[in-house]
Structure 1
Amino acid sequence: MKKTIKLISVLVIVLSLSAFTIAKSNNDDGYKIGDAAEDFSLKNIDEEMLSLADYKDAKGFIVIFTCNTCPYAVMYEDRITALNNKYASKGYPVIAIMPNNTSVQPGDSFEAMKQRAKEKGFTFPYLIDAQQTVYPKFGATKTPHVFILQKSDGLNIVEYIGAIDDNYKDASAVKTKYVEDAVDALLNGEDILHTETKAIGCSIKA
């Protein structure tokens, strides 16, 4: 009887430790500040494959996971275009990536992406993560979800993760422009004040 109780106790401890390990692993998914992001090759709406390595003169990138169908993402479309218009010429182009499973979210199909980009006049690449292999590496969970990368010694270092700004409802009421502040800091060789914020948006559809 004592052996049985002891065995049960050991099993409980092992299972508890396993659960903790799994939970910790899940919480640690995706890039953290200071990590080097892997390059990727994804299809753009112009049917061409695109990689970060294609931007030879870039100083870094504003990588934004976004989509057609999320109301939050739609509210940010003009602001995303404005970010690219402001910073692409300064070395930080926007790279937009659509991460959703299109069988679950048909409004985010490749054809729908092309149509939306045409309607809105996107000035940035709009890539499809068709195999859903890129967004998990980044740890993106929302649309929109931003990752600012800085080129350093041949690596793309993650410098900021989170939201575009502090007011998804009304661009005119924004008090803190997280992405702009972060890129401006990088351009000026200064420390980023807010390196991580909470991304507000729709859950990515796997």
Structure 2
Amino acid sequence: MKKLLFFLSISLIAPALQGQDIDMNFLKLWDVEKEDIVTLPLQQSVSVLIFTSSSCPYDQLYDERIRALHTQYKDRVDFILINAYTPRQGKELASKTKAQAKQFDMPYFIDLNQDAANLFQIEKSPEVAILAKPQGKYTLEYHGAIDDSPQSASNSKHHYVEDVLNNLLQNKPSPHRFVRPAGCRIR
């Protein structure tokens, strides 16, 4: 019953979530390293939640770009990887997720019930949600594509995540709210 009420509340508030206050304390995900359900370790005023998986070919195309973003902004921005492509996954896929987590130097979580994906309207993998905490409460500033070239970083002309982060870190509004991502549909 609790899960049904949570899902209904997300379904009703998700379309109006952008720019609204979000209480991140209620969102609990499976921490791959700690092997426990925890709240997200958000400490900075800007946070990037990257929804990814261990089985989508598009995710592998973005691995280096995700690492580069993390390297560029890690001192000023929280980076969290979330695998939402996991309902009813078998042990083989679970071990792939754990192996993938070890490749990144950032926290990695599993969204077992897709609560985070539903909350932030995430439909594809990879897709990002960028949160800002300007006055004590988190707000969703952007969700969508990392850039405009899923096949090749060198062909990218629009770097949406970089644009948003640069603006937010300068206390300017996000230049993008949503850009449709290319990737695997989260089921």
**TM-score, length-scaled by structure 2:** 0.83
Between the aligned partners of 2:39 and 2:116, the Cα distance in structure 1 is 12
Shift of 1:131: 2.5
Indicate yes or no: 2:135 matched with 1:147.
Answer: no
Indicate yes or no: 2:108 matched with 1:126.
Answer: yes
Give the AA of the match of 1:46: E
Residues 107 and 168 of structure 1: is their aligned pair in 2 closer, same or farther, counting only changes over 3 Å? farther
**Greater share of strand:** 2
Q: Which residue of 1 aligns with 2:6?
A: none
Percent identity between matched residues is: 31
Q: Which residue of 1 aligns with 2:53?
A: 67
**TM-score, length-scaled by structure 1:** 0.76
In structure 2, which of residues 53, 61, 85 is the aligned counterpart of residue 100 of structure 1? Answer: 85
Residues 49 and 142 of structure 1: is their aligned pair in 2 closer, same or farther, counting only changes over 3 Å? same
Q: Note if contact 1:81-1:124 (Cα within 8 Å) is conserved in structure 2.
A: no
Give the AA of the match of 1:37: I
Residues 200 and 146 of structure 1: is their aligned pair in 2 closer, same or farther, counting only changes over 3 Å? same
Greater Rg by CA? 1
Q: Which residue of 1 aligns with 2:178?
A: 196
Shift of 1:26: 7.1
> Gaps spanning 5+ residues in structure 1: where?
1-24
Between the aligned partners of 2:60 and 2:90, the Cα distance in structure 1 is 15
Q: Give the number of equivalent residue pairs.
A: 175
Please show how residues 4-15 of structure 1 align to structure 2 within 5 Å. none
Residues 105 and 172 of structure 1: is their aligned pair in 2 closer, same or farther, counting only changes over 3 Å? farther
Indicate yes or no: 2:29 matched with 1:42.
Answer: yes
Between the aligned partners of 1:133 and 1:69, the Cα distance in structure 2 is 20
Q: Which residue of 2 aligns with 1:116?
A: 100
Between the aligned partners of 1:108 and 1:79, the Cα distance in structure 2 is 23
- RMSD over aligned Cα, in angstroms? 2.3
Between the aligned partners of 1:163 and 1:107, the Cα distance in structure 2 is 28
Between the aligned partners of 2:13 and 2:78, the Cα distance in structure 1 is 28
Q: Which residue of 2 aligns with 1:169?
A: 151
Residues 144 and 93 of structure 1: is their aligned pair in 2 closer, same or farther, counting only changes over 3 Å? same
**Greater share of helix:** 1
> Gaps spanning 5+ residues in structure 2: where?
1-9
